[in-house]
Amino acid sequence: MSYKRGLALVSVIAMTGVLLLGLTLGVQAAEERVIYMAAIEPKGGVTADKEPYPAVELPKGGGYVKKAPDAATGRWEVSVYQWSPATVVVRQGERVTLEMVGINGAKHTAHIDKYHPAHFEVKRGEITRVSFVADTPGIFKIHCKEHEPAMEGTLIVLPR
Ligand SMILES: [Cu+2]
């Protein structure tokens, strides 16, 4: 094989590679991205003889729950409502579906700045799907009405 023919062959292979890469990225961009989330409530507890019940109030709004020591056992508990994962990262232009399941808390009345300003509900034992095209890059909050201020997620849309 001559040097020129060899070079031409290498060029064709390289161009094919670039073309295939371009096609693959194009297909990925058109695909729907499903992100699985859960409405959760991590909880901790201890008896007052081991750790005294903290007198300081937690922020109001339903997001934090603190139960005073039980009369019989002396056990007190603290919990927080959260989205899991609390931060969701997608790329601009992606078709996104958030598939949310309710694990704890009877109901979460939620909305997402810019992408889903209308309220939707996530109920315990049920799946709620929210779909949108992430057309605008930025940082957006995922709010829950019943569990402020703690149950606030973040949607990050990375610019292309
Ligand atoms: Cu909630």
* Counted domains in the chain: 2
Distance 2 CA to ligand 1 centre (A): 70
Q: Does residue 5 sit in the same domain as residue 45?
A: no
Ligand 1 centroid, distance to 62 Cα (angstroms): 8
Secondary structure letter of residue 114 according to DSSP: T
Residues 127 and 61 in one domain: yes
Q: Are residues 26 and 45 in the same domain?
A: no
Question: How far apart are alpha carbons 154 and 158 in whole angstroms?
Answer: 13
Q: Do both 19 and 44 map to the same domain?
A: no
CA 57 to centroid of ligand 1, rounded, Å: 20
143 Cα to the center of ligand 1, angstroms: 8
Give per-residue pLDDT as tens, 74-86: 999 999 999 999 9
Q: What is the pLDDT of residues 48-102, one digit of tens each?
A: 999 999 999 999 999 999 999 999 999 999 999 999 999 999 999 999 999 999 9
> Residue 81 Cα, ligand 1 centroid: separation in angstroms?
6
Q: Percent of the chain beyond pLDDT 70?
A: 81
Report pTM: 0.79
Q: How confident is the model at residue 32 (pLDDT cuts 50, 70, 90)?
A: confident
Residue 12 belongs to what domain range? 1-30
User: Which residues, 6 or more positions from 134, have their beta carbon under 8 angstroms from its beta carbon?
Assistant: 90, 91, 92, 93, 94, 95, 96, 115, 157
Ligand 1 center to residue 64 CA distance, Å? Answer: 10
* Cα(113) to centroid(ligand 1), Å: 16
Whether residues 63 and 125 fall in one domain: yes
CATH number at residue 155: 2.60.40.420
